[in-house]
Every structure is written in C-alpha cells, then in structure tokens.
RNA sequence: GGGGCAUUCGUCUAGCGGCCUAGGACACCGCCCUCUCAAGGCGGAGAUCGCGGGUUCGAAUCCCGCAUGCCCUACCA
C-alpha cells in the first residue's frame, strides 16, 4: 500500500546552480536513491521575466558535476512530462478552470492601485497588510464597467477563514491562524499560472510523494495545502530544510563567497568535498564520523535527523573537506582531474608528459588544497629555464662563496650518483654534508632552492629523482652563476 | 505591523531527564615528527547550552514568558 517514493528538485532558471539549491538537490537525491525511488528535475520558469533558458544548462552541469543524476527531467523526459513549467500552462489552466467552476476561485477586477491603497491604509492603521477580498464584492454591473474600462482580471483563490496546518518531517506540525492566508492570486491576467498553483498541480500530476525544499517555502505551504484541499487531492509529505546562511545569518548570497556551484568547480574544489560539506549543513550522522562519499550518504542520510536551525556556510571548513578528499583520491584519479586545471593554470604540458606529471603530483598532493592551485604548486617541475634565485638562501652559517663550493660538489655528486633515486641521493648528500662538516639542513636548503627555485617543496631527494639528473645538473649550474654574483657583491 | 520557525564553543555539529565537571570536527595556539613546506600524532584554549521563570530528587534536554535572528507577507519563485 506504500506508494513509490518520488521526489523532485524544482529550480527556477534565474541563475546557475546555487549552493543552497545544490544542498536541496542533494537531500532529495539521497532520499530517492536510498529507497530506489525517483529523483525528478522540474524547471520552474513560469516567470518569463526572470527566467533564462541558458541557466538551465548551468543547473544541469552543476548537478551532474556533483554526481546527482536525475531520472526524469526536461532533458531526459519521463512519463509525466513536460518538465518545464512554461510548457505546462494548459494543464494549469484546466485546474484553474476547475476552481473557478466550483467557485473556489474568482476573477478579481481590482486594479493594482486599489490594492496598493488598501495595503497602505492597513499599514497606516497598524494592521497586517492582507488582501481583504475586494474583488469578491463587486456587483455584476461594476464588473461589466471595469471590463469595458479594460481591467484584465487575475484569478484569486477564495480563502475562507479557517486555520491551516500540515506535518513537516523536519519541523513537525506547523499551523497558522484562521485569518492568515488571504485570497492569493493563482493565475495572472494573461491566464498564466503563478508559482503556488503550478507547484501544486505539478506535484500532483507528477505523483511527487515528498516535497523536500528550503524553509523559505513554509509560508507558501499553507497556500498549497489549501489548493490541494480545494482540488480534492492528497498533499504530499513535506520536509523543509534549514537555510544556508552567511556569517551575518542571512540568506547566502554572492557577497559571502562563491554562490554558484560552477564557481567552486573552477576554484578547484572536488564535488566529493562540496557534497560532504553541504550535507553537514543541517545534518549529522549521530556519531563522530564526518567523511562521507555520496554512496555512503545514500545509506546514512535520514530526513528525520535534519536540524531545524539555519547553518552558516563556513568556507574554511569546506577547504578542510577539500583537502581530505584530495588526499583520499588515488593518484591516477587525481592526476586525471588535476591535469586540466594545471593546463589552465599555465603549465606547458605535452601529453607525453602525463607519467612525469603524475610522478610530480604524487609528491605534491598532500600540499594541494585546491585543484586550481596545481600549476602554482608544480610549475618548477615544468619550467626548464628555471633560474633559481639564490638570494633566498640565508647565508648565516656559511657564506655565499662557501655555499658555491659546496654546490660544486653537489654537481659532481649528481653526475656520479647511481641509481639517481631518492634513497641513494639522500645517502650521498648526507655523506657530503658530513665531509663538509655541515649540518645536513644547511646543505639541503641551498640545493633545494637551486633545483626547485623555492624554499618550500616536497622532500628534496624524491623531488630530485622525479626531476631527473639532467634538470638537476642544469639548475645547479645556473644557481652557481647566480651565487658567484652574490659572492662578488 | 502580522505570521511561521529557530537559538549548544567564532563556525559545522553530538546530545533526545541522571552516562555532561557538555563530546567530535574546522579555524586558532603549543609540542612532537622532520632536509623545507605540507600531511600526521599529541596537547591547549574555547559553550555558566540566548535570557527569565517553572515542572522534577535531578534539565542543554519538558512547560511558560521574554529577547534576538531568519524566512514569508507580489499578477517572483
């Protein structure tokens, strides 16, 4: 007797995939996948003014990147289409007609000015601004007069004074007093349906079993519940998620960091990390585990455990998850993903360098916090004209001249060491340091700078092994030239 | 103005009447590891559980007020 679980994500294409919407989509997806239900994508573009078809593709891309695949939608079709509200107006019109016919809705011939005046007066009297049903009270003659004056009526739902309530999986039972819901508009003057009407009709027609969406929709839910009742339909189960907010605890917007999922992608975040981070905004498993893959979340996530309080988006915590997930990837996977970021970051990569790239990346990846930093982290592996700035050395215990003669011996060592690998190089260099009577670190740092051009790098000898004998030799020679200048100065 | 909802370390959270002198994680600080930087390990600081009343032998947990915040209050979604 239990109906199949069907959930939906219903973005309006007024922008790319917003992080808040991404979280909503994630919760819906997890719900559906856990029980083998259907995850439906429906585009809510009834506001032609603000909707833009180009954003649709951005939303798809964002969802796909996150790994949230859908079963029905405008692009893949499905048994209850079309899945774009702009293409469903006939269906809405029919429902509107039904409400008109049963006198649960009426044509409202008031003008915008009249309604504004009413609101203003209510506000002046300190009363809540609520549409009083002005349009219900016109006589037939008044209506005829307004018609001929060119007033185009909107369709309003006839809301009778009675309390409205519904049960919410996250928030519990929610109710509102008898005078709170006024006669709201369900269809514009041009006949097109408004949001509240369209969602109800769509959720019914698409057999949506659970409406999982942001908390900002709770007040709409009262209107929707009324519409279900009027149309003789059973409302779905509702679950309203807490909002993702900024540090000032307001709705998350562009000023608070990247707003669109695509931006996180270009900033080098892993979809795994964003998913993991987002799910913890309002949910926790109840034990102390924190790292979850999408598949694991499908098993663990329960709407019943979702919090009611809004959650602040903390970019530092996202960064942490990103690092964790980068370190979790296996090398081939990471190399695959980092390659294009590296190319975009300006690294001059030839496709035959993939093994070299992977070997270098293996040394760097615990230092890699964001994929888009790949190039800046690894550029010295690929710059064959590297001209190390030896001025970075702190010539405290050993002068530039002494350092130069030590590096001469390192050049010789680089030529002789065989095999040219991490342990052999390390042993040889330590022996050299001992010969010189230098502290090992005092020798390694100038070599590091000579060979990589920087003070912070992966372990030196592993780095040298990857760079190879030739590069190391060339760079050391060049460093020697620079050192000579420093020694002379 | 009205309504709805919320309120545990700076942040994400655990907690569902005694296990809490409130646990974990991020960020922060210190130490260790160490050729640098990371990563990792260990430790520290950080929450009188928004405030005030109750109920109870006992409350972060239940009830009532208040405060604050957020969302909605469109012929937007």
Q: How far is the CA of A54 from the C1' of B56 (A)?
A: 61
Closest to A456 (Cα-Cα) out of A400, A401, A343, A376: A376
A371 vs A267: CA distance, rounded Å? 7
User: How much is the pLDDT for A1?
Assistant: 43
Residue A219 CA and nucleotide B1 C1' are separated, in Å, by 17
- pLDDT at res. A487: 77
State the nucleotide closest to A458 in CA–C1' terms.
B37
Per residue in A232-278, pLDDT tens?
999 999 999 999 998 888 888 777 778 899 999 999 999 999 999 99
**ipTM score:** 0.95
Average model confidence (pLDDT) for chain A?
Answer: 92
Burial class (CB in 10 A: 0-12, 13-18, 19+), A485: exposed
Q: Is the CB of A453 under 7 A from strand B?
A: no
Measured CA A182 to C1' B13 distance, in angstroms = 39
Contacts with A370 (C-beta within 8 Å, 6 or more apart), sequence order: A267, A268, A269, A319, A322
Structure tokens at A265: 């992608």
Residues 316-375 of A with CB under 7 A from strand B: 316-317, 319-320, 323-324, 327, 366-367
CA-wise closest residue to A422 among A460, A473, A475, A367:
A460
Provide the whole-model pTM: 0.94
Q: Can you tell me which residue has the tokens 């219900």?
A: A136
Give the pLDDT confidence score for residue A237 in this predicted structure.
95
Residue A8 has a pLDDT of 96
pLDDT, averaged in runs of 10, over chain A (489 residues)? 85 90 96 95 83 87 96 95 92 94 92 86 81 85 89 92 91 88 91 93 96 94 95 95 90 78 96 97 93 96 94 95 96 96 94 96 95 96 92 90 95 95 96 95 96 96 97 95 85
Residue whose Cα is closest to the C1' of B75:
A188
Contact (Cβ atoms closer than 8 angstroms) between residue A363 and residue A402: no
Helices (H) and strands (E) in chain A, counts: 19, 11
Strands A237-241 and A210-214: parallel
Q: pLDDT digit string (tens) for A31-79?
A: 999 999 999 999 998 876 777 888 899 999 999 999 999 999 999 999 9
Assess whether A409 (CB) lies less than 7 A from strand B: no
Q: A214: which strand partners?
A: A241
**Concatenated DSSP letters of A209-270:** -EEEEEGGGHHHHHHHHHHHHHHT----EEEEEPPEE-TTSSB--GGGS--BHHHHHHTT--
The protein footprint on chain B, as nucleotides within 7 A of a CB, is 1-8, 10-15, 23-27, 35-40, 69-77
- Which nucleotide's C1' sits nearest to the alpha carbon of A185? B75
Q: Note the pLDDT of residue A185.
A: 94
- DSSP assignments along A7-58, one per residue: EEE---SSSS-BHHHHHHHHHHHHHHHHHT-EEEE-B----TTT--HHHHHH
């Amino acid at each position: 007797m239990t109906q199949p679980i069907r959930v939906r994500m219903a973005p309006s294409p007024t922008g790319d995939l917003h992080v808040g919407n991404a979280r909503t989509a994630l919760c819906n997806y997890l719900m559906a996948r856990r029980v083998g239900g259907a995850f439906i994508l429906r585009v809510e573009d009834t506001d032609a003014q603000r909707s833009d078809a180009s954003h649709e593709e951005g939303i798809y891309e964002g969802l796909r990147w996150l790994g949230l695949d859908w079963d029905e939608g405008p692009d893949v079709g499905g048994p209850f289409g079309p899945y774009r509200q702009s293409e469903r107006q006939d269906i809405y019109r029919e429902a509107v007609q039904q409400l008109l016919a049963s006198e649960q809705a009426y044509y409202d011939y008031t003008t915008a000015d009249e309604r504004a005046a009413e609101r203003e007066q209510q506000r002046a009297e300190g009363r809540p601004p609520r549409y009083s049903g002005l349009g219900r009270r016109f006589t037939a003659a008044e209506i005829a007069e307004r018609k001929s004056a060119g007033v185009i009526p909107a369709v309003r739902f006839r809301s009778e004074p009675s309390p409205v309530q519904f049960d919410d999986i996250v928030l519990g039972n929610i109710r509102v007093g008898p005078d709170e819901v006024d006669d709201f508009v369900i269809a514009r003057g041009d006949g097109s349906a408004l949001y509240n009407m369209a969602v109800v009709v769509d959720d019914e027609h698409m057999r949506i079993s659970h409406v999982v969406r942001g908390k900002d929709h709770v007040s709409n839910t009262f209107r929707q519940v009324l519409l279900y009742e009027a149309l003789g339909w059973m409302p779905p189960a509702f679950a309203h998620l807490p909002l993702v907010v900024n540090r000032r605890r307001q709705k998350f917007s562009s000023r608070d960091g990247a707003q669109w999922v695509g931006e996180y992608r270009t900033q080098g975040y892993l979809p795994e990390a964003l998913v993991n981070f987002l799910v913890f905004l309002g949910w926790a498993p109840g034990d102390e585990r924190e790292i979850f893959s999408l598949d694991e979340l499908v098993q663990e996530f329960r709407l019943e455990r979702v919090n009611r309080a809004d959650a602040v988006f903390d970019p530092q915590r996202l960064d942490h998850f990103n690092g964790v997930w980068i370190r979790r990837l296996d090398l081939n996977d990471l190399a695959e993903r980092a390659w294009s970021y590296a190319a975009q970051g300006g690294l001059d990569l030839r496709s035959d360098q993939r093994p070299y790239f992977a070997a270098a990346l293996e040394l760097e990846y615990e230092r890699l916090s964001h994929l888009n930093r790949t190039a800046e982290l690894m550029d010295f592996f690929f710059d064959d004209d590297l001209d190390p700035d030896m001025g970075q050395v702190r010539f405290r215990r050993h002068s530039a001249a002494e350092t130069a003669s030590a590096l001469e011996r390192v050049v010789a060592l680089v030529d002789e060491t065989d095999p040219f690998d991490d342990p052999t190089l390390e042993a040889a260099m330590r022996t050299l340091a001992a010969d010189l009577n230098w502290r090992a670190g005092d020798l390694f740092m100038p070599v590091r700078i000579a060979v990589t051009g920087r003070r912070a790098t992966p372990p030196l000898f592993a780095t040298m092994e990857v760079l190879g004998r030739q590069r190391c030799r060339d760079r050391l020679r060049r460093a020697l030239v620079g050192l000579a200048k420093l020694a002379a100065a």
